[in-house]
Amino acid sequence: MELPFELFVALRYLLAKRKQAFISVISFISTLGVTVGVIALVVALALMTGLQQEVRDRILGSTAHVFVWKQGGYEDYRAEAAKLRQLPHVVGAAPAIVDRALVSSPRGIGFITIKGIDSALEASVTDIERSIRSGSLQALMEHGNDETPGMLIGSDLSKQLGAFEGDLVHVLTPYGTASPMGVLPRFRTVKIVGVFSLGLFEFDSSYGFVTLELARVLFDKPGVDLIQLKVDDIWAAPRLSASIPDQLGPKYLAQDWADTNRSLFSALWLEKMAISITIGLIVMVAALNIVASLILLVMEKSRDIAILKTMGASSRSIMTIFMLQGLIIGIIGTTVGASVGYGLAYVLDRYRLIRIPMDVYQVSYVPFTVETPDFVLVIVSAIVICFLATIYPSRQASRLDPAQALRYE
């Protein structure tokens, strides 16, 4: 099968030899520029997407998808949890009491968030049971009625306090007992019955889990603060949250995970867009290289263009030749760049080669995730930019006057 005339000439010009070898070098540099730009863009998008997904997954493994409060509190949280489990998409419901306290040990001290939970229900809404590194969730219930109740703490908090499974720590809360000297803070000694690692620094460094009964005593609360819900589709959580007051009444107030972490995900999205635009400029620079190379080629091949026109080639054919040349550069550069970028992102993610401070980014390494829509968008955008870069020099070539070009030959 013979190649079309325009494509044949475009390939000949791209692979120029001997006296025109300079044109081939320029074409190679243009292709390399597109390749580098696409590699950088694919890897950058993979980095930000991976970081967003990793942080999101760890947050959703550490907390529930929807939080529900009720005006006046919950008198019977088990009945309320059973009612909330009947809502669409809900697969788990568990009560919680959340407040702040000061915890100390002989080797350290720190402010922590204490979460009172029902051990039998908590595992249905968070990954706490699977994240325990020592001890067990069941140990909370076993120590619930002891003189020294139990508490689960995060791995980083454990290191900070120098307290591990079996050690005793002291918990101090501002909710106290009235006395002639004023309100005395409430003080309680608890036993560390387990250490968990949810993989999110915010939780591993500042959270402790106790029974609901102990939380009520520590924070002087008659009932639970809220009921947590887990849904089968995280993207359905905002709709469910908005519909709860309509379905259950105005006394209920709900908030979903996206709203709770809005500032974090907005910042991550903004970073992704900023990086994409910044690195996308590399592709624009590569497109300028294509413009320059085609202008040089038109100048170099002005005599050839004139001869082709005198032999009957139309201005449209001449324009197509140079458009095809730029498009071939763009397609080759984009294909190689996308392939290398995808492979590089896979290797960096598979072997976790880039480590970052966990207390800043919530994760210990940079994850890379190449999403199909982003990947396709990069490829299509790069090819379109390269094609647009061919329009001006191709139009100039098609307008070349054969008589002027051959006058001094």
* Residue ranges in 211-301 assigned as alpha helix (H): 212-219, 237-248, 257-260, 262-300
Instruction: Label residues 76-114 b or e (16+ Cβ within 10 Å = b).
Output: ebeebbeebeebebbebbbbbbbbebebebeeeeeebeb
Question: Regarding beta strands 182-196 and 66-70, do their DSSP bridges make them parallel or antiparallel, or are they unpaired?
Answer: unpaired
Q: What is the pLDDT of residue 298?
A: 86
* Residue ranges in 249-261 assigned as alpha helix (H): 257-260
* pLDDT tens track for 177-192: 666 666 677 889 999 9
Q: Are 227 and 81 in contact (CB under 8 A)?
A: yes
* pLDDT tens track for 7-49: 988 888 777 665 556 667 777 888 999 999 999 999 999 999 9
Distance CA(202)–CA(360), nearest Å, equals 10
- pLDDT at 83 > cutoff 70: yes
* pLDDT tens track for 369-386: 999 999 999 999 999 999
The whole-model pTM stands at 0.81
Q: Is 158 helix (H, G, I), strand (E, B) or coil?
A: helix
Q: What is the pLDDT of residue 1?
A: 61
Q: What angle do CA 53, 238, 44 make, to 5 degrees?
A: 25
* pLDDT tens track for 251-280: 999 999 999 998 888 888 888 888 888 888
Q: Domain residue spans in the chain?
A: 5-59+264-406, 72-250
Distance CA(253)–CA(288), nearest Å, equals 55
CA pseudo-torsion sign 154, 156, 157, 163: positive
Q: What is the pLDDT of residue 159?
A: 94
Distance CA(30)–CA(26), nearest Å, equals 6
First to last CA, the chain: 36
